[in-house]
Amino acid sequence: MVALRKFIAITTAGLALAVSSPAAAQFYSEGYEFLEAVRERNGTDATEMLNQPGTTVINARDVSSGETGLHIVVGRQDATWTRWLLQEGANPNIADSRGRMPLHVAIEVGFLEGVEILLRRGARVDVVNSVGETPLISAVLARNVDLMEILLEGGADPDRTDNTGRSARDYALQSGVPPRILATIEENETENAGGDGRIYGPVF
């Protein structure tokens, strides 16, 4: 009886796998091919795949890194492909396996135009990666005033903390950090302060 039960269980599992595998394999194959087309800047193949009825490959993720096509093009600082993928429906708020959104990647590589494009197309400005780091914290740590200004104008919160309990403001106040870093945060608050002392700005 025990042997019979095992046989039935194995047979049932095998049948379920046989039914589900073709669809899963097809999705994996299509997603892989789309990401390869993005990496190779093959607009013709990418467009053909996106034009397939009901396709979801625009947000396909690499099985090893978790990256989407948007991560890839932002990482290579490609404004044209970044705009195009977003226009085609790419989600700017999907994280890779390290918890990084495309906005984090743009900050890492110093892609100013990419940051502006992503924020205009709905990227959340205060998203955090796997260590709780916001894009603004990353910009402060990189001492990149230009990136900081874009993020602050987009509504970034300088007091949102990471997993260590430190905020962008805290990092700006640390010893050895150029005064212009903290000044950039304070200037943005002065420019956006309302009459009641609260900070106003767009919310993403």
pLDDT digits (tens, 9 = 90+) for 153-193: 999 999 999 999 999 999 999 999 999 999 999 999 988 76
R_g (Cα) of the chain, nearest Å: 22
Is pLDDT above 90 for 6? no
What confidence score (pLDDT) does residue 28 get?
65
Segment 119-130 mean pLDDT: 97
Q: What is the pLDDT of residues 39-96, one digit of tens each?
A: 999 999 999 999 999 999 999 999 999 999 999 999 999 999 999 999 999 999 999 9
Return phi, psi of residue 196, to 5°.
-95, 10
Is pLDDT above 80 for 98? yes
What is the C-alpha to C-alpha distance for residues 75 and 105, in angstroms, rounded to an integer? 6
What is the C-alpha to C-alpha distance for residues 178 and 143, in angstroms, rounded to an integer? 8
What is the C-alpha to C-alpha distance for residues 70 and 100, in angstroms, rounded to an integer? 12
pTM of the model: 0.80
- Identify which of 130, 123, 145, 139 has the alpha carbon closest to the alpha carbon of residue 203: 123
What confidence score (pLDDT) does residue 194 get?
55
